[in-house]
Amino acid sequence: MNRRNFFTGAAAATGGALLARMVPTARAAEPGMKATSTGTTTPFVPPADWKGYKPVITPNGLTLPFKMVNGVKVYHLVAESVTHEFAPGLVAECWGYNGRVHGPTIEAVEGDHVRIYVTNRLSAPTTVHWHGILLPSGMDGVGGVSQKAIQPGETFKYEFTLKQHGTYMYHSHHDEMTQMQLGMIGLFVVHPKNPSKPPPDRDYAVMLSEWKIEVGARRPDPNEMTDFNVFTMNARSFPGTQSLVAKVGDRVRLRIGNLSTMSHHAIHLHGYYFKVVATDGGEIPEAGQWPETTVHMPTGSTRTVEFVANEPGDWVMHCHMLHHVMTQMGHTFGNLIGINTEGLNKKIRKLVPGYMVMGQDGMGDMGDMGMAVPKNSLPMVGAPGQHDYITMGGMFTLLKVRDELPADGSDPGWYQAPPGTQAGVAPADDLKRDGIELPKDLPKTSTARTSPKGEAWCGPVPPSKAPLLVKNEVTARIKVQ
Ligand SMILES: [Cu+2]
State the distance from the centre of ligand 1 to the C-alpha of 299, rounded, in angstroms: 10
Least confident range of 188-192, 202-206, 379-383: 379-383
Report, as an integer, the average pLDDT of 325-336.
70
Report, as an integer, the average pLDDT of 163-167.
97
pTM over 0.95: no
pLDDT over 90 percentage in the chain: 62
Contacts 24+ apart (CB under 8 A), 20-24: 20/52, 20/66, 20/67, 20/68, 20/73, 21/47, 21/67, 21/68, 22/65, 22/66, 22/67, 23/47, 23/65
Query: Is the separation of the CB atoms in 317 and 294 below 8 Å?
Result: no
CA distances from 460 to 346, 374, 430 (A): 15, 11, 43
Which of the four pLDDT bands, split at 50, 70 and 90, describes residue 377?
confident
Contacts of residue 391, defined as CB under 8 A and 6 or more positions apart, other chains included, come to 363, 364, 367, 368, 381, 382
State the distance from the centre of ligand 1 to the C-alpha of 476, rounded, in angstroms: 34
Least confident range of 28-32, 327-331, 377-381, 419-423: 28-32
Phi, psi of 444 (to 5 degrees): -65, 130
Report, as an integer, the average pLDDT of 221-229.
91
State the distance from the centre of ligand 1 to the C-alpha of 397, rounded, in angstroms: 13
- Rounded to whole angstroms, the Cα distance separating 216 from 90 reads 8
Which of the four pLDDT bands, split at 50, 70 and 90, describes residue 372?
low
SS3 category, 206: strand
pLDDT greater than 50 at residue 453: no
Burial of 153 (0-12, 13-18, 19+ CB in 10 A): exposed
- SS3 for 112-125, per residue? CEEEEEEEECCCCC
State the distance from the centre of ligand 1 to the C-alpha of 396, rounded, in angstroms: 10
Least confident range of 270-274, 408-412, 445-449: 445-449
**Rounded CA Rg of the chain:** 25
Query: Is the separation of the CB atoms in 188 and 170 below 8 Å?
Result: yes
State the distance from the centre of ligand 1 to the C-alpha of 302, rounded, in angstroms: 14
State the distance from the centre of ligand 1 to the C-alpha of 411, rounded, in angstroms: 25
Least confident range of 82-86, 167-171, 219-223, 325-329: 325-329
Who wins on pLDDT, 463 or 365? 365
Angle at 369 between CA 367 and CA 372, to 5 degrees: 75
State the distance from the centre of ligand 1 to the C-alpha of 209, rounded, in angstroms: 9
Angle at 194 between CA 191 and CA 195, to 5 degrees: 65
- What does DSSP say about strands 244-247 and 155-161: parallel, antiparallel, or unpaired? unpaired
Task: Kindly report, residue by residue over 299-320, the tens digit of the pLDDT.
Answer: 999 999 999 999 999 999 999 9
**Beta bridge partner(s), residue 258:** 208, 301
- Rounded to whole angstroms, the Cα distance separating 185 from 261 reads 11
Which of the four pLDDT bands, split at 50, 70 and 90, describes residue 44?
confident
pLDDT of residue 270: 98
- Rounded to whole angstroms, the Cα distance separating 165 from 194 reads 10
Which of the four pLDDT bands, split at 50, 70 and 90, describes residue 344?
confident
| DSSP one-letter code for 284 | P
pLDDT of residue 50: 78
State the distance from the centre of ligand 1 to the C-alpha of 260, rounded, in angstroms: 9
Element at 250 (helix H, strand E): strand 250-258
State the distance from the centre of ligand 1 to the C-alpha of 290, rounded, in angstroms: 22
Burial of 182 (0-12, 13-18, 19+ CB in 10 A): buried
pLDDT greater than 90 at residue 290: yes
State the distance from the centre of ligand 1 to the C-alpha of 320, rounded, in angstroms: 6
pLDDT greater than 50 at residue 325: yes
Query: Is the separation of the CB atoms in 332 and 380 below 8 Å?
Result: no
State the distance from the centre of ligand 1 to the C-alpha of 300, rounded, in angstroms: 14
State the distance from the centre of ligand 1 to the C-alpha of 264, rounded, in angstroms: 6
Query: Is the separation of the CB atoms in 154 and 266 below 8 Å?
Result: no
Who wins on pLDDT, 408 or 217? 217
State the distance from the centre of ligand 1 to the C-alpha of 245, rounded, in angstroms: 22
State the distance from the centre of ligand 1 to the C-alpha of 448, rounded, in angstroms: 32
pLDDT greater than 50 at residue 276: yes
Which of the four pLDDT bands, split at 50, 70 and 90, describes residue 362?
low
pLDDT greater than 50 at residue 469: no
Least confident range of 118-122, 124-128, 371-375, 421-425: 371-375
State the distance from the centre of ligand 1 to the C-alpha of 217, rounded, in angstroms: 23
